[in-house]
Amino acid sequence: MTTATAADPTVIDPADIDPAVLRDDLDAYARALRAWLASEPVLDQWRGRHYPNTEERIADHGRFMGVLFRAGWNRYGWPESAGGLGGDERHRAIFYDALSAAGLPIPAPHLMLETLGPPVVHFAPELATAYLPAYLRGDEWWGQGFSEPEAGSDLASLRCRARREGDTYVLSGSKLWTSHGATSSRLVCLVRTGTPESRHRGLSMIMLDADTPGVTIRPIALASGENELAEVFFDDAVVPATNLVGDEGKGWAVAMYLLQWERAMYAWICAADALRRLRDLRGQVATRLAAGARLPDGSAARLGAVYEQIIALRSRSAATVRRLAAGDTVGPEASVDKVLLATVEISLFDLARDLLGAEFVLGATDEVAAWRNEWWFSRSATILGGSAEVQRTIIADHVLGLPKEAK
């Protein structure tokens, strides 16, 4: 087997690459990946592609993951025991960045993979060995069941119960706003195993198959009309106790562990994708300008500002990703990354909306429809995974050390 001579862009048959080299040498990984992305013709089908609905998009992104998996690229950064090729978060960050730079989307299932993969690998290595390889291949993806009808920002008030019966848990209750929930093969849920009043002390994390008897899933559309979310009902669904992720009663700790990736990797992914979309927007605006269109006053300054915000987010986020890779615990300061990413999302898609003007409201092309869908989705940046207000409160409490909020 030859080693990666990634400096030569003609030598990019992934089969020729020794994974140990790319695992141990980030630069070699980045070079080889970029060369492959620039030269592999099969990838063109995922450039500038539009889908009739989100179900087809996620399924096709699954196929895209299969291509990336067979070439090895999305396996770096994940342990070999879970279907990966070794390496750390920096490989994954380089992977997302390189896709965006090559004009390719980041496959949608990777978003939840970044949130759910690390805690499953850490707290339930057998489950990771059993199921993560299929996830990396794009054959399945998972949903995150945290929020409930009555538990949003106040997650610790959740009520979905898991009752221990022999070697199983019996789940009853429901989950709401589960991303990719309607197409997921598996769900990772935070459930109550303690008393109803036990707050965060009585929670456990458990993985279950979406087709477990007693589980019903109802798709929920965002205002764009896209079924991005789902509501999940549990009617005495029986789950093996071996599916616990972490110990019984330790669900909150698992959730806090998970948040490190949910905030840090999501921020990096958003920044990578935002730069690609800003590039798209600039191109579309240039075409319109060439056709004699006029931009609203202040457009140039706003474009400059959004670009700089993306770079600020990347600056912060790269440092956080490196800390995760070094094994540091990323605590409440990750809320800074989350606030910055929300700022980028909101201002980028507001800019797109304003620059496209009447076209945004009236236009029927796939391109404009995509901007509208993403505009709606961008509004979630200040809501999901801890709202803008919750993040500010975390910073006030745990970073600035201000006296606690008045009750």
Partner 1 sequence: MTSPATITAAPTAGASPAPAGLDDATAELLAGSLREVLAEGGDLTAALAELGWADVLADDPARATTLLFTEHGRALAHSRVLDDVLLAELAPALPAATAARALLYPLHSDHPADPRGPLTGLLLGPLDGITEVVVPTVLDTGATADEPDATGLAGLAGGVTLRILPAELVAAAAQPVRGFDTAAGWLTVSAAPVGPAGPATPAGDAWTRAVAAGRRALAAEITGGCEAALAIAVAHTSARVQYGRSIATFQAVRHRLAEAHVAVESLRSELTVAWGSAGHADGGAWAARLVKLRAGYAQAEVMRHAVQVCGAMGLSLESELHRFVARTAALDLLLGDHRALAEQLGTELLGGAELEPVVAI
- Residue numbers annotated as active site: 262
CA distance 385 to 380: 9
Q: Provide, rounded to whole angstroms, the least separation between the CB of residue 338 and partner 1.
A: 9
* Beta bridge mates, 204: 191
* Contacting partner 1 within 354-393 (CB under 8 A): 389, 391-393
Q: Is the dihedral of CA 395, 399, 400, 401 positive or negative?
A: positive
Instruction: Answer yes or no: are the C-beta atoms of 228 and 54 closer than 8 Å.
Output: yes
Instruction: Indicate the residue among 200 and 302 with the shorter CB distance to partner 1.
Output: 302
Q: Please tell me whether residue 21 binds partner 1 under the rule CB under 8 A.
A: no
Q: If contact means CB under 5 to 8 A according to the sort of partner, which of ligand FAD, partner 1, none does residue 404 touch?
A: partner 1
Q: If contact means CB under 5 to 8 A according to the sort of partner, which of partner 1, ligand FAD, none does residue 266 touch?
A: none
Q: Provide, rounded to whole angstroms, the least separation between the CB of residue 396 and partner 1.
A: 4
Distant-in-sequence, close-in-space partners of 261: CB < 8 Å, separation ≥ 6:
89, 114, 115, 117, 118, 119, 324
Among 311, 256, 270, CA closest to 118: 256
- Beta strand pairing call for 186-192 and 142-145: parallel
Instruction: Indicate the residue among 134 and 325 with the shorter CB distance to partner 1.
Output: 325
Stretch that binds partner 1, among 60-68, 163-171, 226-234, 310-318 (CB under 8 A): 310-318
Q: Site residues (CB under 6 A) for ligand FAD?
A: 144-147, 152-153, 177-179, 228-229, 380, 383-385, 387, 389-390
Q: Provide, rounded to whole angstroms, the least separation between the CB of residue 219 and ligand FAD.
A: 13
Stretch that binds partner 1, among 129-137, 216-224, 303-311, 366-374 (CB under 8 A): 303-311
- Beta strand pairing call for 229-240 and 142-145: unpaired
CA distance 162 to 238: 9
Q: Is the dihedral of CA 268, 273, 279, 281 positive or negative?
A: negative
CA distance 328 to 367: 41
Q: Is 228 helix (H, G, I), strand (E, B) or coil?
A: coil
Instruction: Indicate the residue among 163 and 392 with the shorter CB distance to partner 1.
Output: 392
Query: What helix, strand, coil percent values describe the chain, rounded to 5?
Result: 55, 15, 30
Instruction: Indicate the residue among 229 and 381 with the shorter CB distance to partner 1.
Output: 381
* Contacting partner 1 within 321-340 (CB under 8 A): 321-322, 333, 336, 339-340
Q: If contact means CB under 5 to 8 A according to the sort of partner, which of ligand FAD, partner 1, none does residue 380 touch?
A: ligand FAD
Instruction: Indicate the residue among 111 and 303 with the shorter CB distance to ligand FAD.
Output: 111
Residue of 319, 328, 365, 367 that binds partner 1 (CB under 8 A) = 319
Backbone angles phi, psi at 400, to 5 degrees: -85, -20
CA distance 200 to 194: 9
Q: Provide, rounded to whole angstroms, the least separation between the CB of residue 253 and ligand FAD.
A: 17
CA–CA distances in Å: residue 44 to residues 49, 101, 105, 108, 223? 9, 14, 11, 17, 30
Q: Which residue is nearest to ligand FAD (CB)?
A: 152
Q: If contact means CB under 5 to 8 A according to the sort of partner, which of ligand FAD, partner 1, none does residue 278 touch?
A: partner 1
Q: Provide, rounded to whole angstroms, the least separation between the CB of residue 265 and partner 1.
A: 12
Question: Footprint of partner 1 on this chain (CB under 8 A)?
Answer: 26, 30, 90, 93-94, 97, 101, 275, 278-279, 282, 285-286, 289, 295, 299-305, 307-308, 311-316, 318-319, 321-322, 333, 336, 339-340, 389, 391-393, 395-396, 399-400, 402-406
